[in-house]
Structure 1
């Protein structure tokens, strides 16, 4: 799926690729940030597991209609890796989104976006734990600064929370969700040798199947909220935007300028998240939100711009 890096393309073609990729990747980050806003608007309109299940139901319906030939061509490789696909879909899509939407009941849109912005650094940590990948001094510094930003976001600027461990429930859920997604990202290089379109289709089916038991638990516990008219609008946006549209835009951006440069655009998520939280949700922008945002973005800049090595990266949304 990775295209040649722009440096080995003819100058005119490289400029054209960058010109086309930047809007696509910026749109991707904006849609992922919009997902944080939807998690807040969904409270009382549609329950977390209903939203997760309906989201992937719609995505599967669209993909099975437009990606049928790709799936048929790659079916043998996909079926041979069904367990890996099922586990990756369960952790990276179903569990992540379920925890993400549940966190929206307890924490702010800003915090949801800020924790998402820490994902690239969490991937560095996961890579070290799994494969003992060497971390450069700049990467280590970036990890430290970004985790400080996450701590400010989680404590809402009240450092006494750390002494009592009275963390917001939503912040804890979001941290677990991000750790799961980091693990999913680390597992991506070992995915089956099929097209990105086919693989995403298989992952969407896995996400739908693994969301059904969670939906049943939510119903049995009496917490199921079937979408209201506003809830259905949220479901449609989340399915077509953060789920489908952003994935396709990101894949095309990777094809145009390569995975290394495309992955940097993940860092725009907290920026757009902060903007949307203030403009659309009406949340106040307090001093600790600005500090957390600066620390997260600064840490990511240090880790990925100053400390990254020229190695293949894969950071999907």
Structure 2
């Protein structure tokens, strides 16, 4: 048993990462029902920043100094990936189920691929094209609940629109991250972004006026904060990038495909959400699309990439 764990610890950790990332949708749904969005985001990243700082000091011993251009990029990362993403994330989860949100957010890799092709002139091939088409089709099926006429008529709900805002914010965050990660290790860049985002969140959180009542939050809220801040952010990202170092970005990235699957299963078990045919069909299209979009990378250029698109809650 010990030999098995030693030989497979990286894969076990990466499986847990997918589970942690999937759990953020469940925790987010609970937080959204109890707290306003900025307060939820502030509590999540206050905890995440604390543990990420500890992890960085343990791994690297110190933080590198930053120049003014890097400072501006870190602020942009905080605004897009922390403040913007989480405002849309918690706002959307007030209106739609965790399972539907997780499938829609799975559009991230396809949108990131499109932006990378347009901005960084990344390689484009038939697998990426087919994958993007599959992912977009799956997302449209989930958003419209199987009735595409809803989209043509412009009758998309606020929940779906908010979650699409998550996709835009996270894709922007990832593209900006490609620039700053030329100077910093990924976990350091993410820690800087979390700290910046947490500081920016102080004012809107104060204006929501509920933070002072934190002593009245129930146990579900505090467990959700722990799941989001520690498991789904600090530990999740640390283990994920540790996995990249051990087995390479291509193989580590495969585990991200399981995030919407774990999220949906937990939503059914914990939140008692119902599965619909449109959700199942849409999920198959989205997950297949993500796989196809990364097919060439995983099979032809393994170990040559320097990063991987991460899709989280």
Q: Tell me the TM-score range normalised by the shorter chain.
A: 0.7 to 0.9
TM-score, reference length from structure 2: 0.87
Question: What is the match of residue 212 of structure 1?
Answer: 202
2:32 is paired with a residue whose SS is coil
Question: What is the match of residue 157 of structure 1?
Answer: 146
Question: 1:230-269 alignment to 2 at 5 Å?
Answer: 230-269=220-259
Query: Are 1:30 and 2:24 an aligned pair?
Result: no
Quick one: distance in 1 between partners of 2:5 and 2:176? 32
Query: Are 1:291 and 2:281 an aligned pair?
Result: yes
Question: What is the match of residue 308 of structure 2?
Answer: 314
Quick one: distance in 1 between partners of 2:101 and 2:194? 23
Quick one: distance in 2 between partners of 1:18 and 1:90? 40
Question: 1:1-317 alignment to 2 at 5 Å?
Answer: 19-68=8-57, 73-77=62-66, 81-191=70-180, 193-219=183-209, 226=214, 228-229=217-218, 230-306=220-296, 310=301, 311-312=304-305, 313-316=307-310, 317=312
Q: Is the 8 A contact 2:102 2:263 kept in 1?
A: yes
Q: Is the 8 A contact 1:100 1:173 kept in 2?
A: yes
> Cα distance, 1:72 vs. partner?
7.0
> Cα distance, 1:100 vs. partner?
0.7
Q: 1:126 to 1:214 in 2, by over 3 A?
A: farther
Q: 1:223 to 1:238 in 2, by over 3 A?
A: closer
TM-score, reference length from structure 1: 0.86
> Cα distance, 1:127 vs. partner?
0.6
Q: Deviations for 1:211-250, whole angstroms, at most 9, x for unmatched residues?
A: 223324434xx89985621222211221111111101110
Q: Is the 8 A contact 2:14 2:240 kept in 1?
A: yes
Listed as ranges, the gaps of 5+ residues in structure 2 are none
Q: Which runs of 4+ in 1 moved over 6 A?
A: 15-18, 69-72, 222-225
> Cα distance, 1:46 vs. partner?
2.2
Q: Deviations for 1:79-120, whole angstroms, at most 9, x for unmatched residues?
A: 762111111122112211221111101111111110232221
Q: Deviations for 1:141-183, whole angstroms, at most 9, x for unmatched residues?
A: 1100110000011111122202211112111111121121112
Q: Is the 8 A contact 1:18 1:257 kept in 2?
A: no
2:34 is paired with a residue whose SS is coil
Quick one: distance in 1 between partners of 2:68 and 2:57? 15
Q: Is the 8 A contact 1:47 1:224 kept in 2?
A: no
144-153 or 52-61, which deviates more: 52-61
Q: Is the 8 A contact 1:145 1:299 kept in 2?
A: yes
Number of residue-to-residue matches in the alignment: 301
49-58 or 71-80, which deviates more: 71-80
User: Alignment RMSD, CA only?
Assistant: 2.6
> Cα distance, 1:59 vs. partner?
2.0
47-56 or 190-199, which deviates more: 190-199
Quick one: distance in 1 between partners of 2:239 and 2:31? 25
Q: Deviations for 1:7-43, whole angstroms, at most 9, x for unmatched residues?
A: xxxxxxxx99972321111111111111111122223
2:275 is paired with a residue whose SS is coil
Q: Is the 8 A contact 1:37 1:277 kept in 2?
A: yes
Quick one: distance in 2 between partners of 1:37 and 1:68? 30
Q: Is the 8 A contact 2:33 2:94 kept in 1?
A: no
